[in-house]
Amino acid sequence: MTNKQLNINQVQAIDFVKYSGVSGDFNPVHTVPEVAQKNGHSQPIAHGMYIMGLATKALEEWYSKHHLLKFEVRFLSPTYAGDMLTITEKSNTEIKVGYFQGIIEVTDSQKQVKLKGNYELKRD
Amino acid sequence: MKEEFTHYYQSFEIERGKIKSFAKVLGLKNPIYYDKEEAQRMGYRDVVAPPTFPTVIDFCNDNDFYQLFSRLHLNPEKVLHGEQSYEYLEPICAGDTITGTVTLERMDEKRNMKFYHLKTIYRNQFKQISVISNSTLIQIP
């Protein structure tokens, strides 16, 4: 494990509303409690793409002098309002001069993994 | 199983304000998303779309993602986003006009769930491929 970690402020239902608005993804499972409950969730779930977006925020803060060549993620469990998310870099390897590959994870305070991702970066 | 399925997003104009509000909601701090001069100083044509911005092209589109769902007979409430990857070849900047073509690469079934593997190629007004996206959608019973 590397020492890179970013804590995200507790995500709130309003964040899912805002993300619906800016992304255009108005699937009510993200915003309407009754729809979420009908589909087996205790409350609305975050858009996977919102969590992926938060992961890019971490990459950007850690690697401001680099740009992303590739980012691939798996969404492993739903994120709910109230979850405290931590983004952790699990590995980072320079595969050739100026090119890096790494693994990151987004977890909640119970250490449940929400997202696992691989990235490739190039130094500018 | 190979499926013949293609969905064309309507060509989409990338707006500065849309980039700014998207970046803001994600809490992104890089000024290249907010400030044209700063973006140009870094060698871009205009403010740059953040890495996950292609999703906006899919959802804010006249031929949006939900039309794709309905063409695949998918109920959005029963679909999970399993995997997503983006490969970045050219930056997407404000002022660009982006087209997106989605193909269903593969569909398989496991334990009552259907897995749709979709590939989207986004091209800019210079006919360059900007981004290649691969998504796995999971239809749950």
Residue B1 lies in a domain: no
What is the distance in angstroms between the Cα of A4 and the nearest Cα belonging to chain B? 17
Whether the predicted interface score ipTM is above 0.90: yes
Mean pLDDT taken over chain B: 95
Number of domains into which chain B is organized? 1
A15, A29, A68: residue with CB nearest B51: A68
Q: Can you tell me the distance from the alpha carbon of A72 to that of B51, in angstroms, rounded to the nearest whole number?
A: 11
- Tell me which residue of A71, A69, A82, A72 sits closest to A109, measured CA to CA: A82
Q: Which two tokens stand for residue B34?
A: 């907010």
pLDDT at B141: 87
Distance CA B8, CA A55 (A): 28
The predicted pLDDT at position A1 comes to 63
pLDDT of residue B2 exceeding 80, the answer is no
Kindly state whether residue B99 falls inside one of the protein's structural domains: yes
pLDDT tens digits for range B24-65: 999 999 999 999 999 999 999 999 999 999 999 999 999 999
Q: Which residues of B touch A29 (CB under 8 A)?
A: 76-77
Whether residue A25 and residue B28 make contact (CB cut-off 8 A), yes or no, is no
* H-helix or E-strand spanning residue B86: strand B79-88
Range of the domain at B116: 6-139
pLDDT 10s digits, A52-87: 999 999 999 999 999 999 999 999 999 999 999 999
**B46 within a domain of the structure (yes/no):** yes
Judge: B21–A22 Cβ closer than 8 Å, yes or no.
yes
Instruction: Determine the distance from the C-alpha atom of residue B32 to the mean position of all C-alpha atoms in its chain, rounded to a whole number.
Output: 20
**Per residue in A22-55, pLDDT tens?**
999 999 999 999 999 999 999 999 999 999 999 9
Q: Residues B60-84, buried b or exposed e (16+ Cβ, 10 A)?
A: bbebbbbebbeebebeeeebbbbbb
Closest CA to B7 of B85, B105, B78, B96: B105
Using the beta-carbon criterion (under 8 Å), do A72 and B80 form an inter-chain contact? no
Q: What is the pLDDT of residue B3?
A: 55
pLDDT of B9 above 90: yes
pLDDT the model gives residue B4: 83
Q: Does the pLDDT at position B21 exceed 70?
A: yes
- Closest-CA distance, B93 to chain A, in angstroms, reads 15
Task: Classify residue B66: in a domain, yes or no.
Answer: yes
pLDDT at residue A3 in the model: 85
Q: How far apart are CA A65 and CA A97, in angstroms?
A: 14
| B64 has a chain A CB within 8 A of its CB | yes
- Tokens representing B83 are 């995997």
The reply to whether B67 falls in a domain is: yes
Report yes or no on B120 lying in a domain.
Answer: yes
Q: Domain containing B47 — which CATH number?
A: 3.10.129.10
B71 in any annotated domain: yes
Minimum distance, in Å, between the CA of residue B5 and any CA atom of chain A: 22
Residue B50 lies in a domain: yes
Which residue of A57, A71, A72 is in closest CB contact with B26? Answer: A57
